[in-house]
Structure 1
Amino acid sequence: PSIATALDDAATDGTPVLELGPSVDPRSFPDGSPDPHIWFDPVRMIAATRLIADALEALDSTTDWSANAETYAEQLSETDHQITTLIGGLGADQRKLVTNHASIGYFADRYGLEVVGVIIPGGSTLANPSSAELAELIRIIDELSVPAIFVETTESDELALAIAGETAQPVTIVELFTESLAPEGEPGDSLTSLLLVDAERVVAGLAIPAEADS
């Protein structure tokens, strides 16, 4: 069953269900469907953390959920500050993103980046882009001199590599953690670490002049 069906079934069975997305000012995909990737905005995640603490407090008052939530909120706030500083090192002409699928819109919105192209249309990784859509994406990359395509660690980079092979200038393929954490003990094995690792990779990818990446 889908996640939505599983949640509906849980609620029907009397299991407490907390829907965070609608409560943290969600963004939408161009087709109007909600973008679920709220974890890419630390500020929204601070709000989500407090909502979770409130819900847990209602179920179990023996733990100081609020204090724990505020400790984690401070970590998220510091992460947000670090990412803002990192992204601040990019020039106005170095902030254009092309991604494998529409996964980092919240991140782009939060830190003043612009997603100018997506390989797989819509919010699903299962959709297939048409030849015309791929040709248009190649044109955009060339016209805007986008130096990198960002792909997920959990998805194939086959299409990204094919596109990079057709552009007029060299394009780097950069992996980001989007749908899952890194293995335990490695950079990216927690949400705050994941966000920082991804921010560092975004900055490194966008800071490369296209003509110099050979």
Structure 2
Amino acid sequence: MEAVDAWERYARRRTPRREFNASGARTWLNWTQYPDHGPDESILGDVQCRSVLELGCGTGCNLAHLSTLGAICTGVDIAPSQLKKAVTRWGHLPRLTFHTAEATDYLSCTAGQFDVVLSVFGPVWFTDPAQLLPLIRKRLSPGGVLAFSHKPPTAGGVQPTGTLREARAVTRWDHTPREWSAVLTSFGFSDIRAEIISPPAGKDTGTLLVKAYT
């Protein structure tokens, strides 16, 4: 499968997350492409005892942090090698499971319900919203939250096509905050907040962060 191979190539080039962040924490949630920058998990509200699904969980570092806060976490990633890395690093933590699957396949087959679905530079950016968003909404509990982040579109590049530089088989949906708000509304989400987080000093590209409720 071309997309799986592309993400495997991307995963092989990724540098593992540091053991500790700048504050000395062993686990943390990072929404942006920059270390020690941007908001933390608090935008999700209290996650204790809540069921959380991360689409495109990679090596599981974000979910590991939520697990330490008491969340019941499930991670899904299309690249098989990521499962081994996630289990090796975080398999000792409770309430934390990982699966290898494409996002829409997993959502179509699982019977689970989730209070939170998140995607950090993950499938929400790389999957047709008309296919993915109805599946996410179906699996979210009433009042559940969808939160995701990705790079904002560049000037003149807001069309819902394009290729990820590191995984050239993958199409990218480069929507602006206003466009994401309209798309999410059309699929029944509400209380939508879409914004661009400014980059740290010396960097040019911010991060688009979106949160919406069922």
TM-score normalised according to structure 2 size: 0.38
Bigger radius of gyration? 1
TM-score normalised according to structure 1 size: 0.38
